[in-house]
Amino acid sequence: MKKFRSYLYAALLMLSAPTLLAQHRDAVDTALVSKFRKEGLKNSRVMEILSMLTDMNGPRLTNSPGYKNAANYAKSALEGWGVGNVHFDSFGPFGRGWFVKKFSLQVMAPVYFSVIGYPKAWSPGVKGTHKTEAIYLDVKTEEDLEKYKGKLKGKIVLFDFPIMPKPAFKPDATRLTDSTLLKMANAAASNRSGGSRRRFAAGAPEMLTYKKWRLCESEGALAVMEGSRGSYGTFYASAATVPTDPTATGARVSAQADNAPEILPQIVVAAEHYNRLVRQLQQGLTVKLELAMETEFTKPEDGFNVIGEIPGTDKKEEVVMFGAHLDSWHSGTGTTDNAVGVAICMEAMRLLKAAGVQPSRTIRIGLWGGEEQGLLGSTGYVKKHLGERVADSVKLTAEGEKFSVYFNTDNGGGRWRGVYLQGNENVRPIFREWLKPFEKDGTSTLSLSNTGSTDHIPFDNVGLPGFQFITDPIEYFARSWHSSMDMYERAVEADLKQNAVMLATFAIGAANREGLMPRK
């Protein structure tokens, strides 16, 4: 019996040896993490970085002066901390830059008030200050269009039906609960699938909307006003609409494109103010407005990312990378989307340099442009440097073959609670080791599920390990994401500090482990 037990023990030891060996190889350097914590929690500069990106250089619409100023700041700061090879890396043609020079919209009658709103991105402005009237385009059928012919010239057209905000019975700010994290931990891997864009037949709602736009253009409206989702005066502004026939084939033209057609000036307005104007017009009142709206386009040019690195030693040709998108929308200062991500990444690089690390692999930072227009910066970087997917096959470059892993920071300024594994079960034991120093802070969840819509996806799409952190939502989707109030105050300082320490830990762990990060 004793001999049998000895054999059994030996067999179990042999079976567990690979796991134990892997854990040993990927064990965290606790002394180094302590350095990161001391510097990152007591001497943090993450909020200083955040203020520079938002208060001083926000918003950061791609190729706008704000974006370029923020990129120059990031480059200078990284170089000042000793980060090497900091440069701007083109990701290909983007289109025109754009910014607002002046905007004011006031109701002069029947009752004065200043309207809460802003131009949509890449909207043209109007020359001078215009005193005009508002008209509500109450169109439910094509027949309704007829009654507005001859009535829109020189007026500001209220284009949409009112959007009624609902009472907020739930708190805006939340953290992920234990039960939610457990569900995420038990979730199976999900498959992303992309379909072709739908086409709509004439007569569908999309066709009616298109004809409303054409009516406004042909009748010579001064500007188009749209109500926003949101409440309490918060509104959400994105790109101006380029009216496109929904039955047309081919790619749609974006508002920033150098070949974009002329469009009407477009304004988005807080729901409460938009709805008030509609009600006044429905009562038969004459609504008089005063509009000053000066915008400026810059010449079409390539978009660019900001790239920098800490060079590796014995495996310097192999690369560990982390990053965040630098660009934002324009009505706020782009704090939670995504200056917080950029600040975390920059602070992580500072922590690595302050600790004097000499990583085996090169550690690289990427601050992406064009994310809000479709992950353009990260996609361009991957295609230019690492590889591309053609149909069902992937062709990696020599640089791509030596690429280890990419960690992305997006989705708000809440505390990281773990990592989405993107269906890559092979990294679970590695990440489990790297999470150990943060378990006491509530950060321990590994979810096999995928998450999309941000800059790790281009890496994942070509088979390279790319990951996004599970993040407490705080007020992200409820209040700040793409909103006019995505401001410095929406950031949670303690969470950003913790995240920067964790990112530095993951980066050095990946840079110094024996092999490249396992792929799917």
pTM across the whole model: 0.93
Take residue 470 and report the two structure tokens written for it: 């599970």
Tell me the sheet residues that pair with 268. 118, 226
What's the pLDDT tens digit per position in 81-137? 999 999 999 999 999 999 999 999 999 999 999 999 999 999 999 999 999 999 999
Q: Give which of 509, 488, 360, 474 is closest to 29, Cα–Cα.
A: 509
What is the Cα–Cα distance from 255 to 290, expressed in whole angstroms?
Answer: 26
- The per-residue pLDDT for range 388-441, each reduced to its tens digit, is 999 889 999 999 999 999 999 999 999 999 999 999 999 999 999 999 999 999
Q: How confident is the model at residue 25 (pLDDT cuts 50, 70, 90)?
A: confident
Q: Which residues contact 356 (CB under 8 A, 6 or more apart)?
A: none
Domain boundaries along the sequence of the chain: 26-97+300-512, 98-172+198-297
Rounded to whole angstroms, how far apart are CA atoms 395 and 419?
A: 27
Integer Cα distance of 472 and 499 in angstroms: 11
Q: Is 388 exposed, middle or buried (0-12, 13-18, 19+ CB in 10 A)?
A: middle
Question: Residues 215-266: pLDDT tens digits?
Answer: 999 999 999 999 999 999 999 999 999 999 999 988 899 999 999 999 999 9
Distance CA 313, CA 356 (A): 13
Which H/E stretch holds residue 419? strand 416-420
Q: What is the CATH code for 98-172+198-297? A: 3.50.30.30
Closest by Cα among 239, 237, 236 to 255: 239
What is 26-97+300-512's CATH superfamily? Zn peptidases (3.40.630.10)
Would you say residue 1 has pLDDT above 90? Answer: no
Residue-wise pLDDT tens digits, 30-81:
999 999 999 999 999 999 999 999 999 999 999 999 999 999 999 999 999 9
